[in-house]
Amino acid sequence: MRLMWEELCGISNNMLKAWLVAGDFNDIVYAKEKRGGVIASIRRCSKFRERVNACNLIDMGVMGPKFTWRGPIYHGGQRIYERLDRALCNEKWRLSYPDGFVKVLTRVEFSDHRPILISPKESPYIKAPIQFKFESAWLLDDTYKEELSIIQHVDIPNDLYGARVCDLVDAHGNWNWALLQNWMPNQLQHKIAAVVPPHSDNGRDEQLGVGGKFGEFSVATMYNKLRGFNKTDADPVWNRIWKLGVTERVRSFVWLVKWDRLLTNSVKNRMGLSSSVCQYCGGQEETCIHVLCDCPLAHEFWKQIVPEFGETETRCSMV
């Protein structure tokens, strides 16, 4: 306890900003903050008050029930009740939030302490402004741990902190690659390239009500409705992609290939970002089919895995 207060005093003496500390201090300020059991020690109460004062902290007071903690039932069926939980703030906090208050809430089943609510404003309905921010969390995809580790090492440029998704779209409704390509790992650029950017030319969000055969909600029906097709006219390639006996990651990759969403030099060139020539063979345009099949480097690779690749006119039938 002594160490805690020494530490709090240390923080307090160096604290220039609004500061509030709250929780179970395991002490009471006055004897009347305890009911039941032996009478509270006056000396202990004054020690607590001294410590609070030494830290230049102000007790924020409380609304609601007087006691925040109840002790176990002891002989005679009585309990001890005390106000152990409180919020203390410095002057700056009090001046910054003159309407701030502390409310003791209803006790929850699993604890002998009542929760306390600290609000900087008097209004019981405090709404944060709704903002859609571009942050690293936006890029998180828990499917791929390795991407996660990449993201942890990515430094998002300062001027993009707080940027909204629509700030990353150019006047033509395309992703503004100039803002992303210098710092974002390729894999993530690929993922973003596969997402249709938010733009009025790309359609508006719509709310749809969709029911399955028996009127219940189903993700499959919703998806079909959104994609605008039913089972009979679905491209059979889709079924082949999603039924491939490979990992989800490979399926996603094939999906990107099918939609020509790999960030090849050919695609980058269409965005005005680079030359379309393959940097490995230096001769041809780097398209999807070039990367996967036609590039001499890819050709060599496939020949090692599928020896008959070079002998017959085997091509990537999927694409």
Residue 254 interacting with Zn ion (CB under 5 A): no
Nearest to 192 by CA among 247, 125, 267, 132: 267
Residue 101 interacting with Zn ion (CB under 5 A): no
Residue 263 interacting with Zn ion (CB under 5 A): no
Residue 280 interacting with Zn ion (CB under 5 A): yes
Residues 6+ apart with CB under 8 A from 235: none
- How many residues of this chain interact with Zn ion, rule: CB under 5 A? 4
Contact 190, 263 (CB under 8 A): yes
Residue 289 interacting with Zn ion (CB under 5 A): no
Span interacting with Zn ion, options 25-33, 102-110, 270-278, 310-318, rule CB under 5 A: 270-278
Closer residue to Zn ion (CB): 280 or 301 = 280
Residue 295 interacting with Zn ion (CB under 5 A): yes
Contact 116, 59 (CB under 8 A): no
Contact 92, 3 (CB under 8 A): no
SS3 297: helix
Residue 278 interacting with Zn ion (CB under 5 A): yes
Among 58, 281, 293, 319, binds Zn ion (CB under 5 A): 281
Contact 140, 148 (CB under 8 A): yes
Interatomic CA distance for residues 176 and 168, integer angstroms? 5
Q: How far is the CB of 172 from Zn ion (least distance, A)?
A: 29
Q: How far is the CB of 260 from Zn ion (least distance, A)?
A: 17
Contact 259, 267 (CB under 8 A): no
Span interacting with Zn ion, options 13-21, 108-116, 125-133, 288-296, rule CB under 5 A: 288-296
Residue 301 interacting with Zn ion (CB under 5 A): no
Residues within the interface to Zn ion (CB under 5 A): 278, 280-281, 295
